[in-house]
Amino acid sequence: MLSVINSSNLIGIQGFKVLVEVDITRGIPSFNIVGLPSTEIKEARERVKSAIGNSGYNFPNSRIIVNLSPADMKKEGSFFDLPISIGILRGIIKKSDDYLNESIFIGELSLDGNIRRVKGILPILISAKDTGIKRVFIPYENLYEAIFVEGIQIIPLKNLKECIDYLNDLITINDLETKDIYIENIEYEDDFSDIQGNFFVKRGAEIACAGNHNILMIGPPGSGKTMIAKRIISILPKINKDEIIEISKIYSSIGIFDNIGILNKRPFRNPHHTTTKQSIIGGGKEAKPGEIVLAHRGVLFLDEIAEFDKKILESLRQPIEDKKITISRVKYTLEYPCNFMLVCAMNPCPCGYNMSNQECRCRPYEVDRYINKISGPLLDRFDVFLEVNSIHYSEFNKEKTEKSKDIRKRIENAREIQNERFKGTKIKTNDDMKSQDIKEYCKLDDNALKSIDLIFSKYNLSNRSYTKLLKVARTISDLEEEKYITQDSIMEAFSYRKAYYKYFK
């Protein structure tokens, strides 16, 4: 008896269809799985055999061969326990082949026949819907993720017996009512009103968030760099539904689950400087996404950036520019999105007190060696450079400043202006603009043209630095609701490069 059951597996954050072909014939009893299965799939033989027996069904005393097609693609995970069991028990199932061909089965079996949660159910459901599958049988524990996918019938199962009884019309399982994605009104504990003084730095952070620009903060220890960075997430615009699906697919694929099944707030990733290149960029045997992918549509904060391995920092250059990371393997290539806001902090020297009121103990060559850990090409990826200084005692006695929610309103208004400007294109924010987009979207008035000409000539800007200066100026004009980039916007945008010339030139 030959039966074919549909299932699915993951490549990166995309699901792909797998045909589970089960052939039961006469011969010496055996149970083999072929089609490039991983170790956990090979071990499914014991799980399936025990689950079928403990669910009250007879396991055939025959020669069983299971083929996972396409046979040249590596299969990983515990997705195939349930479809293999359905294939073996096909003889007692009344549903027609047409019904099963329109269905996908996903689930890991325990020895007692219960169906356990699997990772990656969200990208699998989305891919199944896109390929015309009508229904998906999933573990009940994956219910919270599945209810946000519309346009496909989802049947949650608690155990193998329940699945067989449903296929034989002995029981009914109510279809899931899909829920609308709920965008939570998040109140953060860390608020911008906690930051005293440093108004120039807070203004720079606001501009960076409005246009999704990258920031580098330089200052002595204890000046508030980390404090500011951790509060940037509180002033970013609320996440929208498309972004929620993008982020949730990534986190679902690596098995990071939330109580509500999706991630409905922007991620904030803060890896330590001792972390490995693979953890930051992604890759490895399973080509998993790294921190830059987990920070997609959120913030990647690198504290003490000069302490990171230089090879790690240089590997960030291309993903920052392209907003995606490509990981190649022999038989396939994975592409992960990584459109994040990069926020970095560093001291001006190894001891941290160079150019501050306290005495610096570093020798000139030590300062140069420390600063030069950040290469010129990497520095070109930053749009805003902020010098963070320790504040005077008198600043601590002042009343709290603007709250994050008030700053966020201005930022959301600027983002709305950008959405209207870039409607019909792939561009979402000012930082997404390419060189060819600058001429169309960054129009300057006459005074601004004179100012940018003088700045370009005097400071010998690179093409990338010039482009980024115009992007930041465009964002400032958006915050001020001005149609054209003004001279004031150009001069303010350039003021956020002064720290660059002070420390790196």
CA angle 385, 488, 398 (to 5 degrees): 65
C-alpha torsion sign, points 492, 432, 192, 218: negative
pLDDT in single tens digits along all 505 residues of the chain: 899 999 999 988 889 999 999 999 998 999 999 999 999 999 999 999 999 999 999 999 999 999 999 998 889 889 999 999 999 999 999 999 999 999 999 999 999 999 999 999 999 999 999 999 999 999 999 888 888 888 899 999 999 999 999 999 999 987 666 666 666 667 778 888 888 888 899 999 999 999 999 999 999 998 889 999 999 999 999 898 889 889 999 999 888 766 567 788 899 999 999 999 999 998 877 788 999 999 999 999 999 999 999 999 999 999 999 999 988 877 778 899 999 999 999 999 999 888 777 788 899 899 989 998 999 999 999 999 999 988 776 666 666 678 999 999 999 999 999 999 999 998 999 999 988 899 899 999 889 999 998 998 888 888 888 999 999 999 999 999 999 999 999 999 999 998 998 888 7
Give the pLDDT score at 394.
64
Which residue in 259, 269, 272 sits closest to 291, CA to CA?
269
Contact indicator for 130, 161 with CB cutoff of 8 Å: no
Contact indicator for 323, 338 with CB cutoff of 8 Å: yes
Distance of CA 271 to the CA centre of its chain: 14
Give the pLDDT score at 193.
86
Residue labelled with tokens 């996918």: 149
Q: What whole-number distance in Å separates Cα of residue 499 and Cα of residue 378?
A: 15
Backbone angles phi, psi at 335, to 5 degrees: -125, 120
Side-chain half-sphere CA neighbours of 409 within 13 A: 4
List, for residues 433-457, the tens digit of each pLDDT value.
988 899 899 999 889 999 998 998 8
According to DSSP, the residues that pair with 156 across neighbouring strands are: 138
Query: DSSP letter string over 292-358?
Result: HHHTTTSEEEEETGGGS-HHHHHHTHHHHHHSEEEEE-SS-EEEEE---EEEEEE-SSSSS-TTSSS
Residue 119 burial (10 A CB sphere; 0-12, 13-18, 19+):
buried
Q: What whole-number distance in Å separates Cα of residue 298 and Cα of residue 320?
A: 13
Give the pLDDT score at 108.
96
List, for residues 300-348, the tens digit of each pLDDT value.
999 999 999 999 999 999 999 999 998 887 777 889 999 999 999 999 9
In total, the chain counts a number of residues equal to 505
Q: Could you give the domains of the chain? A: 2-167 (3.30.230.10), 214-382 (3.40.50.300), 405-505 (1.10.8)
Q: What are the b/e assignments for 166-205, b being 16+ CB within 10 Å?
A: bbeeeeebeebeeeebeeeeeeeeebbbebbbbeebbbbb
The CB density around residue 84, as the number of other CB atoms within 10 Å, is: 27
Give the pLDDT score at 288.
86
Residue type, 216: L
Give the pLDDT score at 182.
60
